[in-house]
Structure 1
Amino acid sequence: MRPVLHGDVASAARALLAVPRAQRDALCVRMIREAGIASRHVQRTGRIHLLFGNGSLMSAARKRVLADEPGFDDVEYCQCFETVLRAVVRARLSRTRS
């Protein structure tokens, strides 16, 4: 997966906000996995992955319906943002341990 920036996290959080709470963790993991697949594809072929985009988390997230972006006064959005950050950290840690 390409380096994760604020826009990546915001887009992924908006994708999570657009689905029921029970589906958010799995969707988050799926988007991170798809970004990784796309990143490897781009490195190998020099072309964007047709399904998952350019290897960024934002690209993987934007393949889905995104909720309008609320401010950080929206607790549910903050929870989605936190979910993405925690999943990114877990993915990075598991990759460094491999």
Structure 2
Amino acid sequence: MRPVLHGDVISVARALLPLRAGKRRARCAQILAQADLAEAHVQRYGCLHRAYGNGSLMAAARGYPLADEPTFDDLGYCHCVVTVLLALINHGKGAA
């Protein structure tokens, strides 16, 4: 996947928010895998992946319904952001 920016994390969190808590980690892993797949496609073919975009998390997340961005007063949203950050930490461990 492409380098991860703040907007990528927020986009994935917004894609997770409409889901029940028990479904969020699996969807997050799916979005990370789709971003990886798209980045590999871009590197190989020099064009965007038709479903997952340019290899960014934001592009992959936009394939799902995105909740409106709440404030950090919303504990569900906070949990979604933490889910994304933990997934990224674990994803990074696999690359090391």
Q: What is the TM-score of this pair, normalised by structure 2?
A: 0.97
The whole-number CA distance in structure 1 between the counterparts of 2:18 and 2:78 is 13
| Matched residue SS, 1:39 | helix
> How far apart are 1:85 and its partner, in Å?
0.4
Alignment of 1:73-84 (within 5 A): 73-84=73-84
> How far apart are 1:95 and its partner, in Å?
1.1
The whole-number CA distance in structure 2 between the counterparts of 1:19 and 1:30 is 14
Task: Please tell me the residue identity of whatever aligns with 1:16.
Answer: L
> How far apart are 1:56 and its partner, in Å?
0.2
Q: What is the aligned partner in structure 1 of residue 56 from structure 2?
A: 56
Runs of 4+ more than 3 Å apart: none
Amino-acid identity (%): 52
Q: What is the aligned partner in structure 1 of residue 9 from structure 2?
A: 9
Q: What is the aligned partner in structure 2 of residue 40 from structure 1?
A: 40
Q: What is the aligned partner in structure 1 of residue 20 from structure 2?
A: 20
The whole-number CA distance in structure 1 between the counterparts of 2:95 and 2:30 is 16
Count how many residue pairs are aligned between Structure 1 and Structure 2.
Answer: 96
Q: What is the aligned partner in structure 2 of residue 71 from structure 1?
A: 71
RMSD: 0.6
Unaligned runs of 5+ in 2: none
> How far apart are 1:73 and its partner, in Å?
1.0
The whole-number CA distance in structure 1 between the counterparts of 2:40 and 2:64 is 21
